[in-house]
Amino acid sequence: MSHSATTRVQEHIGDPVSDTPPVGREKLEEIFQDIQADLRFDHELNGCLNCGICTATCPAAHYYDFSPREIVQLLWTENLEGIYDAMQEKIWSCAQCYTCAARCPFDNSPGGLVMLMRETAIKHGMESAKSVLRPFSRVMLKLISTGNQLSPDMITPDGFADWGPNVSKIDAPLATLRKAIPMPTLHTTKTAWEVNLKTSVELYTIWEETGVLDSLEIIDENLFDVISDIMDEKRDDYEDWLDEQDQD
Amino acid sequence: MTTGNGNGSERFTGHGAEWTDAKLSKEDAHVATVWVDQIINRRSMLTNKDRVEDVRDVMWQLEKDGEIVVHRVQDEHEAVMVKTLYGWDKKIPTTQLWHHKSCGQCGNIPGYPASLLWLMNQMDIRYLDETDQTSCTAWNYHGSGIGNLESLAAVFLRNFHQAYVSAKAQGLPEGYYYPLVHCGTSFGNYKEVRGYLLQSAKLRERVRKILGKLGRLVDGKLLIPEEVVHYSEWLHVMRNEIKKHQVIDCDHIRATVHPACHVYKMVPEDAIYDDDILEGNRVAVTTGLLETLGTQVIDYSTWYDCCGFGFRHIISEREFTRSFAIDRKIRVAIEEARADMMIGHDTGCITTLDKNQWIGAAAGKPVDLPILADCQFAALVCGAHPYKIVQSHWHASSTETLMEKLGIDWEKKKAEFEEYLKEVEAGRGETLYDPRKMITSGPGFKPQGQLSKGT
Walk me through the domains of chain B, giving residue ranges and CATH numbers: 55-232 (1.20.1050.140), 248-424 (3.40.50.11810)
Which of A149, A172, A179 is facing B135, going by the closest CB pair? A149
Q: Which amino acid is present at B267?
A: V
Nearest-5° angle of CA A153, CA A154, CA A158?
A: 100
Contact A210 B151 (CB under 8 A): yes
Q: Identify the pLDDT of residue B215.
A: 97
Q: Identify the pLDDT of residue A13.
A: 63
**Complex confidence, ipTM:** 0.92
Question: In chain B, which among 400-439 make CB contacts under 8 A with chain A?
Answer: 414, 417-418, 420-421, 424-425, 429-433, 435, 438-439
- Read off the pLDDT of residues B10-30 as tens digits, 9 standing for 90 and up: 555 566 666 677 888 988 988
3-state secondary structure B31-49: HHHHHHHHHCCCCHHHHCC
Q: Identify the pLDDT of residue A168.
A: 80
CA A50 to chain centroid: 28
Nearest-5° angle of CA A127, CA A133, CA A139?
A: 160
Of A104, A94, A84, A96, which Cα lies nearest the Cα of A44?
A104
Give the nearest chain B residue to A190 (CA atoms).
B107
Q: Identify the pLDDT of residue A197.
A: 94
Which of A136, A152, A168 is facing B315, going by the closest CB pair? A136
Question: In chain B, which among 52-91 make CB contacts under 8 A with chain A?
Answer: none
Percent of chain A with pLDDT over 70: 92
Question: Span A215-221, mean pLDDT?
Answer: 95
Dist. CA B302–CA B304, nearest whole Å: 5
Q: Which domains does chain A have, with CATH numbers?
A: 8-124 (1.10.1060), 133-247 (no CATH)
Whether residue A229 has pLDDT greater than 60: yes
Contact at 8 Å (CB) between A149 and B135? yes
Q: Identify the pLDDT of residue A18.
A: 64
Q: Which amino acid is present at A116?
A: L
Which of B143, B324, B439 is facing A139, going by the closest CB pair? B143
Dist. CA B84–CA A116, nearest whole Å: 29
Whether residue A246 has pLDDT greater than 60: yes
Of B55, B49, B96, B102, which Cα lies nearest the Cα of B77?
B96
Question: Span A213-242, mean pLDDT?
Answer: 96
pLDDT band at A165 (very low <50, low <70, confident <90, very high): confident
Dist. CA B78–CA B234, nearest whole Å: 11
Q: Which amino acid is present at B89?
A: D
pLDDT band at A4 (very low <50, low <70, confident <90, very high): low
Out of A20-29, A61-70, A74-83, B82-91, which region has the weakest mean confidence (pLDDT)? A20-29
How high is the mean pLDDT of chain B? 92
Nearest-5° angle of CA B39, CA B42, CA B45?
A: 70
Which of A60, A129, A170 is facing B393, going by the closest CB pair? A170
Contact A164 B433 (CB under 8 A): no
Nearest-5° angle of CA A12, CA A16, CA A21?
A: 55
Give the nearest chain B residue to A130 (CA atoms).
B144
pLDDT band at A160 (very low <50, low <70, confident <90, very high): confident
CB proximity A174 to B under 8 Å? no
| Segments of chain B scoring below 50 in pLDDT | 1-7, 450, 452-455
